[in-house]
Each structure stands twice: as structure tokens, then as C-alpha cells.
Structure 1
Amino acid sequence: MLEVGQILQTRYQLKENLGQNAGRQTWLAEDLTTQPRENVIVKLLTFGDQVQWESLRLFEREAEILKQLDHPRIPKYRDYFSIDDRILWFGLVQDYIPGSSLRELLNRRQKFSEKQIRHIATEILNILIYLHEINPSVLHRDIKPSNLILGEDKRVYLVDFGAVQDRSISERATFTVIGTYGYAPMEQFGGRAVPASDLYALGASLIHLLTGVPPADLPQRKMRIQFSDRVTIDPYLIKWIETLTDPDVEERFSTARQALQALDTPQNPKTYLPVHKPQNSRIQIKKSLHQLNIKLPKRGLRVLDFVGLILGFVASSLFASLFIAGLFGIGSGLSVLVWLVGSSLSLGYLIAPLTETNINIQRDSFAITWSIFGKRYRQLQGKTLDIHNVYVYIYQSKGGENSSEIMKIIIAAGEDKYKFGDFDFKTGEPECLWVVQEMKDWLGLR
């Protein structure tokens, strides 16, 4: 039985039992061979009825991989030994990081600001870039607040490599499913961990820090963790975390380097050039953390509208003539066709100038509504999470030398495209681009 004060390997004096479960113990110890004496972490595994060969294999693999790692934010490997004192113990020794785990800080009800979240994310992503890009790459597979240490130097450390996976081994053999429910993605529980699996765990950990609620206890929709209604942070950061925790591994950032670049993008003035609201614009945009509302006022009649109205009037007049002729048995069917064409032309060119368009985007869904004098006559709806792009499309109207270019805004959501707006290319381009940028900024789209 291990106890405080006991010396292992004539070198490590046990000071405090930091935790234990079936067959495992973690101790804070002192290395008696160093001057001055240094604190170390001693992880112990007893091989017996409660510990199987698989647990021992994972323990030995942790030691072997830690030997190969050299990163300032990963505790350094010091020693590996076994003790055969009636009960066979295996020990792993590594550097002690003074500080507190993020889980401990959560238990103290500490609140994490957006600045702190960005700092933590950046620190861990830099560690993951190192782990994933060495050869062979290493997957941690158990990123969570209890394995993230905020050191006294205010740097973030990644600890506990007990679930670590060497991809060169995993690609040719099966392995025990490891991970913590709520933080590990589905593909990891299916035995197919990839670098994006660690990114998911990082995102789930950030959600825990932001909300104070373990991700497993938060509601889900189509396997997506729902958290945006509980936080007050930059919508871009929300979208970035949602990308990290996308249940579909192919929809996440594929690498830690890509995720870090995306996190830094809004703060890079070379790649982020804001478009301001044009003077005299009548477009109204209201936004909050939970919704974005854009109101496009009626645009009024254009020259092309007058042309359409005249054509519609001529067609309707022709209908009247044909209808009268139809009374005498001449082409009544043709008269109805001409009337339909004329009416459509007239209504189309009359409705468009008088239409107000309202775009309302909330965290879960969005709607585009067209109305005249406050009366809705058309509406399209979709899911906000499906939106992957917002862009401008230019339509060339027919009319020979008098043709004009019209700009419309398109929301690409899933496989559907939602069109709205009617901006004249010559005069409405600044407004159109401004609206697109406001939407992309709020949605967190680059």
C-alpha cells in the first residue's frame, strides 16, 4: 500500500495523492536527485485483477510516446519503472506543471471571457499542430478541461496522454475505443480517430468553458451541440466553434493549422477589408447576438418597369379586342392566352417596385419575406446551420442596347439557393456588397 512519504526507486518521495481509481493512482512527488528538489508527477498502474493487459499496453504506449515528444506545453517524460513488491506496480514520471486544470477553475465557478477563450484555443491549437505534424503524427484523443492546465505562467498545457494514439500503429491495427463522452466525436467511438477528432474535443471543451455546462448535458439537434443561445461572444467565434464541433468530420477544419488560421482571420487587416454603409441608403439593418434583421425598402419604378407596364397594357388591350371578336366566334382561346400574358407582365412590373423584402436570420432558422403595403405575399424559409455562403449574382436583362445588369443576393444553404434583392449594377453595387458583408460577418462566414 502506497502512502505519503514513501520513496520509490530510491528517488521519488510521494507527497500527495492527487487521484485514484481502479488500479491507478496519480501522485505529486519530489525528485530527491535534483538540486533544488523538483516536484514531479508519478502515475502508477498496478497489474492485477482490476487491470488487464490492454490497460498495461496503453500505459506503456503513453510512456513510449512521451519519450519522443519535445514541446514546451507538454510535460516532459522523466522515467518509467516497475516495482515487484507482492503487487506489481508500473510507474511513469513526468514534469509537474504548477497551476490549475480548467476543470478545477470551472468547479470554482470561474467565468471565461472571449479573450481567454481565444487564448486557450490558440495555445491548444499550437500544441496540436506539433502533435499532428510530427512523423508519425500523434492524436491525443482525450482533450477536455481536466486535461488542460492553466499554468502559473498563464500558458496552457496539455497533459494526460493515457489515451494517446500513434497513427502509424492505428492504421494497421485495431485499438481500444478511448475518449470521454461529450468531448469525443462519434468517429472516435467507432475506432476511426483522425486529427479533426482532437479539434472536435477542443471545441467541446471551449463550449464547456463558455457555458459552464458539460457538453453532454447541453441539448443537441441533429447531433450538434446547441450552445449559442447561452453565450454572449462574437458571432464569428460562435460559428468557428460550431465548425470545430460539426458532427460530420468532413465539415470540420481538417487540420489544426487550418483552424488556427480561421480563428485569426477576422483580426488580420490584410485579409479583412470592411465595407461601410453607403450614404443615403434606405436599407435598415438591425443585429444582436441572437438575430440579424435586414429590411430592403420598395425601390420605386424604373424605366424598364414603365416599358413592362406599357407592354402589359398593349397585351391587355389586344385581349379586349380578341374577346370582343370572340363574342362573334373568333379565337376566344387565343384571347385568354393573350390576356394571361399581358396580366402577368403588368403585375410583375407593378409588384416588384412596390415590394418590401425582409430577411430575418436567427441562430436556428432564417426567413425571407416579400410584402406589399405590409401584406405578405411570399415567404421562403431555411435552416441557418445549412448556410455555407452568401454572395452576389448579376443578371443581364434582355433589351438590346437598353439592357441592364441587376444584382441579386443569394443565400446558399445546403443544396438550395435563396435569391432576394434587386440592385441596379450601376447605382446599387455598394449597398449590395454592404448587405452581403453584414450577413457574412454575422454568420461567421469568411
Structure 2
Amino acid sequence: MVDNASDRSEKLSALEKVWGDRYKILQQLSKRNGRQTLLAQDLQTQQHVVIKLLALSRDFDWQDLKLFEREAQTLKTLSHPAIPRYLDYLDINTPTYKGFALVQSYIEGRSLEEHLRAGRTFDETEVKQIAASLLEILIYLHDQSPPVIHRDIKPSNVLLTNRSGNHAGQVYLVDFGSVQNLAAKEGGTITVVGTYGYMPPEQFGGRAVPASDLYSLGATLIFLVTGHHPTELLEDGLQIQFRQAAHLSPNFTDWLEWMTEPSLNRRLPSTVEALEALKTDQSRPKLKPAEPSHTSQITKSLPHSNIVLHKTPDVFEILVPPQGIGFLSLSLLSLVTPLWACWIPLHWYGSLSLSQQDVYLEILCLAIALSGGLAIALYNALFGKIRLRIDRQSVFFIYETLHFKRVKRWGAYQAIARDIPVTTYLKPSSKSLYTARKPHLLLRLEKTQYKFGWGVRTSAEVEWLAGELRSWLKMRDEADSPNSPSFNP
């Protein structure tokens, strides 16, 4: 307890320091992964400012510094009343802290996420006002030369202040830590930035265009009208399903679906057109008869299998839904039940000898530990979903439950060996029953092999998935061929 109090004292004294002989630290606003955001006072102007810190710590990543410096350089070039102003950039080298600091103007207001958590609700008129204000900001950003793409529009990065009467309030767009401009060259190391649920499909592969911000904006507005993050809503293929969770006019619902179209070919192409469609209740243009074959979503399943396959010309996704209570859960249950049954009523405990009390305490601890494991196993069995997602840039493995998502990038789409995947089996082993004939897909990306066998029970399932993936890869190769009419390098 003394050590913890000492640590808190040291942190407090650090926050009270004056940095750069100018900025007096008032409080810490947030902290994560070597980054901090502080509220400070500029002793020259007496104004409050925000200081964003990037520490040179053990988990320092040069890519983080690249994004940090890009944010500073971008804010230097921007001048808009609804965007934080660049004020200063510091190299910090003190005995207690080494890193970099970006100083920007402070905007006093709550984020959209904080407003909803505080119980505020937004009607359709207010949501449209917020949408129009954000689109005006994006028009300014996308009109820069080169265009500036935010890449991380979400409820926590949109501030709202000065609500009055029927007006939702003044809207601000903050946190340009993921910003990209279109002057950046394609290729090289791919950096996937953004927030899962608010990122459009193309951004998973490190690719972002102005219309990518429109998807994120649409997903943010869906959060406002439903009270749920997009990851908490159902999907039909890759399209967020929010109609049942919101009470909106048909035209506005249609506009939000247009904004959050997974395919770039079907999404609103620009902020100007999106704002015009919002103001005029413009209907979506009908697809040409020949177009659905190039942009439609195909959903497939195999008889007697719960694995679902989603395909578009740009995305191939295998979805393994929750598997239900299986062998692991039943095994833990069979162990936990007799342990709890052995536990004696509390009022008998005092009559036992010390050695008996020790035995029963050990049984209780074991029962509690196994019960925790059983709870986790049941939660994963009932709510855990697995996705293998391949788009035009990358291959991703995604694990998600009701309250957790983990996205792991396996490699680049271009690195997939075309003679893989094939149906393979782990060889039977005398050392482990687990390795006995488990079917899986084997993906070879560059020099690494990845096995995907989640939810796969039979060789028929893996043969079907392998055949569908081979077919999709061949279609993509033909589409990317210079002789293809749809070739677009």
C-alpha cells in the first residue's frame, strides 16, 4: 500500500510541473500505450491547451512517431473553427520523461459518446444537424491539396457544445492521430489505423479514400440513433443492420445505409454529394441491370454446417458463429459440480479440525478457479464468433464476443500462395489426442503458414471453403489483370 501511495505521489508531482517553461500541467485526460493527453495552462496567454504526449518507452514504435509527426504537420496546415489549432511542438528530455509533445487548442465540450452515457438522446432533426456540420468539416478537409482523410471518425472524436433550443449544438472534430493525406505513396508497410466497427472494409487493408470518412461518419450517426456501437448490431454480410433499432424516416434511413455501404462502388462518392443528398432527401440511384453481378453480396452455407460464407468481388469472409456448449464446457462442469457438492455448509465449518478445514479450503479454492474457467468457456461458447476476412489488401483473423474484439492481420492479400489453401490434416500423435485428424485450411503467406480450423468439423466443410476461396482468388486475379475491363491499378 505504501508503494502504491508513493507511485501516485510521484505521478501527481509530475503533472504539476511546467513544461517548456510555458505549459503548466493541470490534469491527465487520458493514457494508453505510451501516449498521454494532458490539460495544461499556457502561462503566456493564460489559456487552456491540450498536450498530446508520445513517450520513448519500451513499447515505442517508429510507426507511432510517424503518425504523431503527421498529425502535427497536418494541424499546422489547417485553419477551421471546428478543428483544434496547432500551437507548439516540443522535444522533451527530462530525468523522468523522454518523448514528444504536440500542443493544440483546447475545446471544452463533451463527446457524443459522453452525451449518450449521460442519458442525452438525439432526435432525427438533431442527428441531421450534426451530420451536416460534420460533412462541412469533411468538405474542408477533403478540399485540401492533397486531400486530408481523418480515418478515425467515431463518437469519442466528435465534441458537441452550446446546445440551445432546437439546435443540437456546435460540432467539433478532434484527434487527428490517424490522419492520412493522399500524397502518401501506396505500397511498403501497411498501417491499419482506425476503430473497429467504424472502419470501412477498404481501411482494413490500409487503404483510405475520402469516401472512407463517409462510412465512419455514417457509423457514428448510427450509434447516435440506436445507442449501440456498430459492433453490437447485427450484420447482413458486411452491411450494418440498424433499421429495427432506430425510429427514423425512410429517406434518412436510406441515406445512412448509402453512407455505410461496404462496397466503395455503391457508397456515396464525396462529401459534397453526401451533404446535397442529406439536404434534399435525395434517393439512391437504382443499380443498372448489369451492375449487381459486379457488386452484389453472396452469402453461402453448406448443408448440416453452421459456417457461413460471405463474398463480394472485393471481400471474402468466413464466419464461424458461436459454437454452443461443447466438450470443454461439459468437462469443466463435470469437475466443478462434485467439488461444490463436497463443500459443507458454513455453520459446520467451525466443528472441523484444522487439517480438515485446510482440505476443504483447498477444495473451495479449486472449485472457484474451475468455476471461473467454466464461466469463461461458456461465455466464449455462447457469444464468441470467428471471422477469416480477406480483402484486396490483407488477410485478417477476427475474434469477437459481445464486449470484446481482437483483430490480427496475418499478411498481405498479394502474398497468398495460389496453390494453397488445400485440405490438410494434423497427423495423429500419440502425445496428444488434440492433434488427431483435425481438418483445417492452410494459408501460406510469404514465409509463414496459418492454419484455420475454427468451427470446422468435417473434411467436407474444409473442401467447400477451400474451393470457394480458390474460386474467389482466381476471380480477383482476373479482375486485376491489365487485360480486364475492370482493371484499376
2:122 paired residue among 112, 115, 136:
112
> What is residue 158 of structure 2 aligned with on the other side?
148
Q: Which AA in structure 1 matches 2:99?
A: W
Matches within 5 A, 1:224-235: 224-235=239-250
Structure 1 residue 85: Cα displacement:
1.3
Gap change, CA 1:263 and 1:412, over 3 Å in 2: farther
Stretches of 4+ moved more than 6 A in 1?
none
The amino acid that maps onto 1:13 is K
- Residue 65 in 1 paired to residue 74 in 2? yes
User: Structure 2 residue aligned with 1:138, among 113, 132, 148?
Assistant: 148
Of Structure 1 and Structure 2, which has the larger fraction of its residues in strand? 1
Over 3 Å counting, the alpha-carbon distance change for 1:132 and 1:13 in structure 2 is same
Partner deviation per Cα, 1:242-269 (whole Å, 9 max, x = no partner): 00000111101110001000001139xx
State yes or no: 1:253 paired with 2:253: no
- Pick one of 35, 38, 55 that aligns with 1:27: 38
SS at match of 2:281: helix
The CA deviation at 1:182 is 0.1
What SS does the aligned partner of 1:29 have? strand
Match of 1:89 in 2: 99
1:127 aligned partner, one-letter code: I
SS of the aligned residue for 1:134 comes to: coil
Offset of residue 166 of structure 1 = 1.5
Picking from 26, 29, 35, the partner of 1:18 is 29
Give the drift of 1:56.
1.0
The answer (yes or no) to whether the contact 1:174–1:191 under 8 Å persists in 2 is no
**C-alpha contact (below 8 Å) 1:388/1:413 kept by paired residues:** no
The 1:180/1:8 distance shift into structure 2, 3 A limit, reads same
Deviation at 1:152, TM superposition (A): 3.1
CA distance in 2, matches of 1:169, 1:412: 34
RMSD of aligned Cα (Å) = 2.3
Which residue matches 2:225? 210
Deviations 1:259-280 (A, max 9, x none): 000001139xxxx9xxxxxxxx
Matched, 1:241 2:241: no
- Counterpart CA distance in 2 for 1:214 and 1:62 is 26
Q: Alpha-carbon deviation of 1:414?
A: 4.8
The farther-off stretch of 200-209 and 43-52 is 43-52
User: 1:412 Cα shift?
Assistant: 11
TM-score (structure 1 length as normaliser): 0.59
Q: Distance in 1 between matches of 2:91 and 2:68?
A: 12
Amino acid in structure 2 at the alignment position of 1:90: F
Please tell me whether residue 101 in structure 1 is matched to residue 116 in structure 2. no
> What is the aligned partner in structure 1 of residue 237 from structure 2?
222
- 1:167 equivalenced with 2:177 (yes/no): no
Q: C-alpha separation between the residues in 1 aligned to 2:158 and 2:182?
A: 22
**Cα distance between partner residues in 2 of 1:248 and 1:201:** 13
In 2: Cα distance, 1:83 partner to 1:206 partner? 39
8 Å CA contact retained: 2:252, 2:281: no
Distance 2:125 2:291 in 1: 31
Higher alpha-carbon Rg? 1
TM-score (normalised: structure 2): 0.54
Q: Provide the residue aligned with 1:42 in structure 2.
A: 51
Match of residue 79 from structure 1:
88
**Structure 2 residue runs without a partner (length 5+):** 1-9, 164-168, 294-489
Does 1:187 find its partner at 2:202? yes
SS at match of 2:15: coil
Letter in 2 for 1:50: D
Q: How many residues align?
A: 276
Aligned partners of 1:148 and 1:159 also within 8 Å: yes
Matches of 2:162 and 2:89, distance apart in 1? 27
1:132/1:390 CA distance change after superposition, 3 Å: closer
Report the alpha carbon displacement of residue 388 of structure 1 after superposing the two structures with TM: 5.2
CA contact (8 A) 1:136 1:166 kept: yes
Paired residues for 1:356-435 under 5 Å: 389=286, 414=292
Deviation of 1:4 after TM superposition, in Å, equals: 3.2
